[in-house]
């Protein structure tokens, strides 16, 4: 079926949200799951610390809700958070039944605590390889289903829109162009966009493709200014920005500045377990040198932690650090923040509907409002399970299959080596501009500089396209460009500081004007909106999608 011209349901992405949705959809029709690289290459696969879930009954669920609301800094859409914490236990129990093996002591599931959680409720697998286990178990379960097929190393490059409804997608297999597949409904589960930044914990596939394609098709985006920066990515020149999980601080790790001081007591009563945005900004401030551009080292310190076998508890992290001659039990570990998780995304209701008919979204690519201005640690794997399943339950009620006829992008000239280098250098320039101007500490003049860089980048990409060039990398660059524009414009509009969005020029939270979600309309306007209650549904949203088939 992978080469079929029509399927009932097309799922873009094979992370936790896409795989969970596919399993549900298979009860209602044929499903094609498309993934840009191999099945295992996703943010899900790299998730370390665990999955937050309240499995101890009503009080635990209520506390999980409170923690989620508190982390989101006044902007969590409460009905979405209620759905997450209430449906989470059932989704996780089901996952265990399907074969996911979480760490246990005897029969008892082990639970750890992470930043801003009021009690230990984070399940983990193989110590610090939770995402890989979730991805593995879901993929095995989905592969056994005869109605689910996979197209690996295949990129969705366009959404086919007719009469305001998404009726299919354009696909690119490797460097070969291109084919069109019709579908009754399309689910975007393509994950985040960490690659919009020069420093990120996200793998190379996380270029925000689905978010950009949805916006191009006329879907609204929401809360795009809220990018979570993980406080503790490994920081050694030449080494990757490998994530040093929050669970290290959950097990007692301290942060120290270059004078050896444990500085978090100056920033928050919860110290190292304060919300992520607080810890990340504290590290940024402690790392600032005397002159602009000069940075000072900040370290994680676990040398005092007793009674835990750190190599056994964190086998993946320990193996990574050993490559650089470092040991958690013996050494100070250099860290700095990196772009990690997009709270915003394609605006959806609680059933994954976007503002365009036939188009659904779930997981990190979507914005239900569940994370508000700042995600609670380990809530996103749970989000993928819960909202992936819900979107899939809504999709069968969609429209009948239409024939997605129309032109498919013709084969274009390949890039020369020097053009490839030129493109790569332009992408790096945009990523650095995002880090500098839409990073942890923002202000109006910088955001405007960032927007100017984004306009230059867009003009450069338009010029390449006029040369009739096409490649996976060019499509990714276009996605990065669109996502960067959305983040910068939303950050410019929010003249306050809240959660992960900090403005040096507006350092206070301003509930009077800004306790609302930003919505990026299809015409590019950014507006602030209340999402009042659980009856909120986009089922009858006016579609702004262009009438013509679109393909990028």
Ligand X SMILES: Cc1cc2nc3c(=O)[nH]c(=O)nc-3n(C[C@H](O)[C@H](O)[C@H](O)COP(=O)(O)OP(=O)(O)OC[C@H]3O[C@@H](n4cnc5c(N)ncnc54)[C@H](O)[C@@H]3O)c2cc1C
Q: Which residues contact 473 (CB under 8 A, 6 or more apart)?
A: 415, 420, 423, 424, 427
Q: Least Å distance between CB 290 and ligand X?
A: 32
Among 7, 12, 123, 451, binds ligand X (CB under 6 A): 12
Answer yes or no whether residue 156 interacts with ligand X by CB under 6 A: yes
Answer yes or no whether residue 158 interacts with ligand X by CB under 6 A: no
- Measured from the CB atom, is 328 or 385 closer to ligand X? 385
Answer yes or no whether residue 201 interacts with ligand X by CB under 6 A: yes
Name the residue whose CB lies closest to ligand X. Answer: 15
3-state secondary structure of 501: strand
Interface with ligand X by CB under 6 A: which range of 28-36, 80-88, 414-422, 481-489? 28-36
Is the distance from CB of 440 to CB of 283 less than 8 angstroms? no
Answer yes or no whether residue 551 interacts with ligand X by CB under 6 A: no
Cα(36)–Cα(14) distance, integer angstroms:
9
User: If we measure between CA atoms, which residue out of 315, 260, 275, 254 comes closest to residue 130?
Assistant: 315
Q: Least Å distance between CB 135 and ligand X?
A: 7
- Measured from the CB atom, is 16 or 196 closer to ligand X? 16
Q: Least Å distance between CB 533 and ligand X?
A: 26
Does the active-site annotation cover 276? Answer: yes
Residue 409 tokens, joined: 């992008």
Cα(19)–Cα(298) distance, integer angstroms:
38
DSSP string, 238-298: TS---B--HHHHHTT-EEE-TT---GGGGT-TTGGGS-HHHHHHHHHHHHB-SSTT-B--E
Residues 100-139 touching ligand X, rule: CB under 6 A, are 130-131
Residue 389 tokens, joined: 């399943």
Interface with ligand X by CB under 6 A: which range of 318-326, 357-365, 392-400, 425-433? 357-365
Among 11, 34, 54, 287, binds ligand X (CB under 6 A): 34
Q: Least Å distance between CB 114 and ligand X?
A: 8
Answer yes or no whether residue 374 interacts with ligand X by CB under 6 A: no
Q: What is the DSSP letter of 396?
A: G
- Measured from the CB atom, is 257 or 552 closer to ligand X? 552
Size of interface with ligand X, in residues (CB under 6 A): 44
User: If we measure between CA atoms, which residue out of 372, 363, 379 comes closest to residue 343?
Assistant: 372
Strands, E assignment, 143-203: 148-151, 154-162, 165-173, 176-188
Answer yes or no whether residue 550 interacts with ligand X by CB under 6 A: no
Whether the CA torsion 166, 395, 172, 426 is positive or negative: it is positive
Among 9, 24, 49, 300, binds ligand X (CB under 6 A): 49
Among 68, 137, 190, 478, binds ligand X (CB under 6 A): 190
Answer yes or no whether residue 51 interacts with ligand X by CB under 6 A: yes
Answer yes or no whether residue 364 interacts with ligand X by CB under 6 A: yes
Interface with ligand X by CB under 6 A: which range of 8-16, 417-425, 449-457, 508-516? 8-16
Cα(279)–Cα(249) distance, integer angstroms:
11
Answer yes or no whether residue 88 interacts with ligand X by CB under 6 A: no
- Measured from the CB atom, is 205 or 359 closer to ligand X? 205
Is the distance from CB of 321 to CB of 310 less than 8 angstroms? no
Q: Which residues contact 240 (CB under 8 A, 6 or more apart)?
A: 234
Q: Least Å distance between CB 504 and ligand X?
A: 27
Answer yes or no whether residue 431 interacts with ligand X by CB under 6 A: no
Among 10, 11, 17, 430, binds ligand X (CB under 6 A): 17
- Measured from the CB atom, is 90 or 496 closer to ligand X? 90
Q: How many CA atoms lie within 13 A of 356 on its CB side?
A: 34
Q: How many CA atoms lie within 13 A of 453 on its CB side?
A: 23
Q: Least Å distance between CB 445 and ligand X?
A: 31
Interface with ligand X by CB under 6 A: which range of 10-18, 23-31, 59-67, 90-98? 10-18
Q: Least Å distance between CB 10 and ligand X?
A: 10
Among 54, 71, 196, 205, binds ligand X (CB under 6 A): 205
- Measured from the CB atom, is 394 or 447 closer to ligand X? 394
Answer yes or no whether residue 384 interacts with ligand X by CB under 6 A: yes
Cα(374)–Cα(141) distance, integer angstroms:
32
Residue 416 tokens, joined: 């020369």
Among 47, 129, 132, 549, binds ligand X (CB under 6 A): 47
Residues 236-295 touching ligand X, rule: CB under 6 A, are 243
Task: Please state at what angle helix 78-97 crosses helix 58-71, rounded to 10 degrees.
Answer: 130
Answer yes or no whether residue 152 interacts with ligand X by CB under 6 A: no
Cα(41)–Cα(46) distance, integer angstroms:
8
Helices (H), 467-510: 472-493
Answer yes or no whether residue 394 interacts with ligand X by CB under 6 A: no
Interface with ligand X by CB under 6 A: which range of 64-72, 101-109, 205-213, 221-229? 205-213
Answer yes or no whether residue 189 interacts with ligand X by CB under 6 A: yes
Range 219-233 burial, b when 16+ CB lie within 10 A, else e = bbbbbbbbbbbbbbb
Cα(405)–Cα(410) distance, integer angstroms:
15
Is the distance from CB of 11 to CB of 189 less than 8 angstroms? yes
Is the distance from CB of 198 to CB of 434 less than 8 angstroms? yes
Is the distance from CB of 349 to CB of 536 less than 8 angstroms? yes
- Measured from the CB atom, is 276 or 503 closer to ligand X? 276
User: Of 149, 172, 249, 276, which is the active-site residue?
Assistant: 276
Q: Least Å distance between CB 294 and ligand X?
A: 28
Q: Least Å distance between CB 363 and ligand X?
A: 2
Q: Which residues are catalytic?
A: 276
Q: Which residues bind to ligand X, rule: CB under 6 A?
A: 12-18, 34-37, 41-44, 46-51, 130-131, 155-156, 189-191, 201-202, 205-206, 209-210, 243, 341, 363-365, 378-381, 384
């Amino acid at each position: 079926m992978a080469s079929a011209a029509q399927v009932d349901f097309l799922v873009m992405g094979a992370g936790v949200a896409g795989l969970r949705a596919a399993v549900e959809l298979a009860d209602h029709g044929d499903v094609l799951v498309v993934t840009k690289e191999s099945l295992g290459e996703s943010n899900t696969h790299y998730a370390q610390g665990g999955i937050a879930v309240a499995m101890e009954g009503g009080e635990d669920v209520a506390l999980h809700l409170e923690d989620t609301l508190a982390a989101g800094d006044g902007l969590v859409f409460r009905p979405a958070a209620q759905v997450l914490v209430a449906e989470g236990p059932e989704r996780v129990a089901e996952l265990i039944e399907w074969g996911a093996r979480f760490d246990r002591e005897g029969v008892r599931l082990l639970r750890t605590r992470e930043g801003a959680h009021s009690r230990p409720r984070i399940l983990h697998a193989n110590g610090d390889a939770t995402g890989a286990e979730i991805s593995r178990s879901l993929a095995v379960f989905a592969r056994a289903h005869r109605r689910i097929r996979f197209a690996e190393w295949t990129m969705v490059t366009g959404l086919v829109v007719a009469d305001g409804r998404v009726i299919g997608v354009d696909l690119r297999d490797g460097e070969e162009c291109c084919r069109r597949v019709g579908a009754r409904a399309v689910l975007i589960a393509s994950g985040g966009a960490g690659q919009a930044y020069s420093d990120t914990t996200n793998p190379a596939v996380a270029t925000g493709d689905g978010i950009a394609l949805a916006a191009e098709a006329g879907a609204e985006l929401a809360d795009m200014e809220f990018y979570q920066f993980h406080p503790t990515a490994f920081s050694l020149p030449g080494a990757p920005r490998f994530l040093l999980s929050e669970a290290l601080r959950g097990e007692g790790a301290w942060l120290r500045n270059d004078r050896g001081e444990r500085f978090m007591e100056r920033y928050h009563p919860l110290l190292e377990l304060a919300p992520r945005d607080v810890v990340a900004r504290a590290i940024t401030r402690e790392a600032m040198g005397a002159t602009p551009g000069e940075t000072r080292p900040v370290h994680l310190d676990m040398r005092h932690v007793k009674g835990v076998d750190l190599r056994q508890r964190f086998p993946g992290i320990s193996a990574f650090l050993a490559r650089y001659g470092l040991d958690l039990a013996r050494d100070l570990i250099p860290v700095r923040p990196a772009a990690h998780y997009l709270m915003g995304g394609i605006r959806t209701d609680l059933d994954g509907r976007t503002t365009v008919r036939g188009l659904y979204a779930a997981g990190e690519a979507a914005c239900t409002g569940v994370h508000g201005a700042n995600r609670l640690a380990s809530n996103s794997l749970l989000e993928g399970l819960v909202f992936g399943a819900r979107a899939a339950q809504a999709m069968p009620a969609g429209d009948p299959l239409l024939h997605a006829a129309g032109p498919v992008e013709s084969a274009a000239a390949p890039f020369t080596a020097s053009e490839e280098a030129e493109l790569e250098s332009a992408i790096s320039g945009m990523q650095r501009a995002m880090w500098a101007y839409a990073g942890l500490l923002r202000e109006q003049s910088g955001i405007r500089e960032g927007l100017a860089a984004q306009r230059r980048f867009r003009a450069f990409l338009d010029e390449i396209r006029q040369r009739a060039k096409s490649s996976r990398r060019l499509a990714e660059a276009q996605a990065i460009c669109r996502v960067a524009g959305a983040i910068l414009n939303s950050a410019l509009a929010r003249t306050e500081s809240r959660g992960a969005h900090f403005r040096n020029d507006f350092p206070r939270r301003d509930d009077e004007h800004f306790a609302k979600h930003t919505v990026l309309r299809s015409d590019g306007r950014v507006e602030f909106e209340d999402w009042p209650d659980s009856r909120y549904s986009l089922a009858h949203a006016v579609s702004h999608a262009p009438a013509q088939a679109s393909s990028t």
